[in-house]
Amino acid sequence: MPVGQEIVCYCSSCKLDLKHVIVAHKSGNSGPIAKVKCHTCTKIHAYRHNPGVKGLEAAAKRKAAGPRAKVVAVPVEVEWQELMSKSENKTSLPYAPTKEFKAGDVIEHPTFGAGIVKLIKDGNKFDVMFQRDVKTLVHKMKDD
């Protein structure tokens, strides 16, 4: 399609399929359309097919590809209960930013309750799994 020809395509400003004029191609007059000018809002923008059509094409490709493997997410509370039951005979350490903790320690936090240290991060941070959420806490802080 040559520059100056009218086409109907999706306007990203108006959010509709409207009449546009081709303003530029990606590589000469024979390449794919690069820029169009909307007759309604008069803005020049990148050429876009109707997003609904693209979405239908993508959905058809996904359907043809076959079923996906299902990912089963384990809720935090279930994982927390399993970890706590495995750590029943460990003593719970009271949380304090000045203390040092290691992976697998059971801690008692004044706000979040009982938790298990999952991961020691760089420096003085570590992740703790509590009953409702995983939180990043600090440890090994100096007393001032």
**pLDDT tens digits along 40-79:** 899 999 888 765 555 556 666 777 777 777 777 778 888 8
Per the DSSP assignment, residues forming a β-bridge with 134 are 129
Distance from first CA to last CA of the chain, Å, rounded?
74
Percent share of the chain, pLDDT over 90: 35
User: What type of residue sits at position 31?
Assistant: G
What is residue 92's three-state secondary structure?
coil
- The distance between the two most distant Cα atoms of the chain, rounded to a whole number of Å, is 79
The whole-chain average pLDDT of the chain stands at 84
pLDDT tens readout for residues 72-99: 777 888 888 998 899 888 899 999 999 9
Q: What is the pLDDT of residue 2?
A: 77
Could you state, in order of their start, the residue ranges of all structural domains in the chain? 6-65, 76-138
